[in-house]
Structures are given as C-alpha cells and as structure tokens.
Amino acid sequence: METGNTQHKKRLKGIVVKDAANKTAIVKVERFTLHAKYKKYMKHSKRYKAHDEQNLCKAGDTVIIEETRPLSKEKHFKVVDSH
C-alpha cells in the first residue's frame, strides 16, 4: 500500500547551450514574466547544469530536465527527454 507521499518534481524545457563537460549539459531555460508597473512581458533566462548519463545531448538540442537530488555542488537537475 502506498503512503501517498508523492512529490512532484520541477520539470523545465530548455535548449542545450554547452555539452563540453563529461556527463553534464548546460541548459538555458527562458521564461516570460509580466512587469509589475509597465504590464509588459519580459524575457528572462537562466542556465542550469543537468546530468546527462550517456552524453547524448548536443548543443542546440531541445531537452526537458527534471529536478533531482544534488549530484554535485551546482548540479541538481537531470536530462529526462531529448528532442
């Protein structure tokens, strides 16, 4: 019997910017946020280091990354799906 302790992990969609490191891909995720005063949408981007076990991701690929336990100092995501 399951205890009902299911946690929803954060999933983000982004583009691989760099794949030079071993088993790591740097993914850029872009978001649109509404400016509080001017009511205009602004583009914000952030780069995440994601674990890529088989080194399948190449620069320019669109991927989905998922939150996971800390794998290193800055790596808290893993690559789930690659298009």
- Does residue 1 fall inside a structural domain? no
What is the per-residue pLDDT across 17-59, written as a single tens digit (0 to 9) for each?
A: 999 999 999 999 999 999 999 999 999 999 999 999 999 999 9
For the chain, how big is the Rg over CA atoms in Å? 15
Q: Are 49 and 65 in contact (CB under 8 A)?
A: no
- Asked whether residue 7 carries a pLDDT value surpassing 90, the answer given is no
Residue closest to 23 by CA, chosen among 48, 47, 46, 57? 57
Range of the domain at 50: 11-82
Q: How many angstroms separate the Cα of 81 from the Cα of each of 3, 31, 36, 40, 52? A: 28, 19, 34, 32, 10
- Does residue 63 fall inside a structural domain? yes
Residue with tokens 């799906």, as numbered in its chain: 81
Identify the pLDDT of residue 61.
94
The pTM of this model reads 0.84
The CATH number of residue 51's host domain is 2.40.50.140
Number of domains forming the structure of the chain: 1
- Does residue 41 fall inside a structural domain? yes
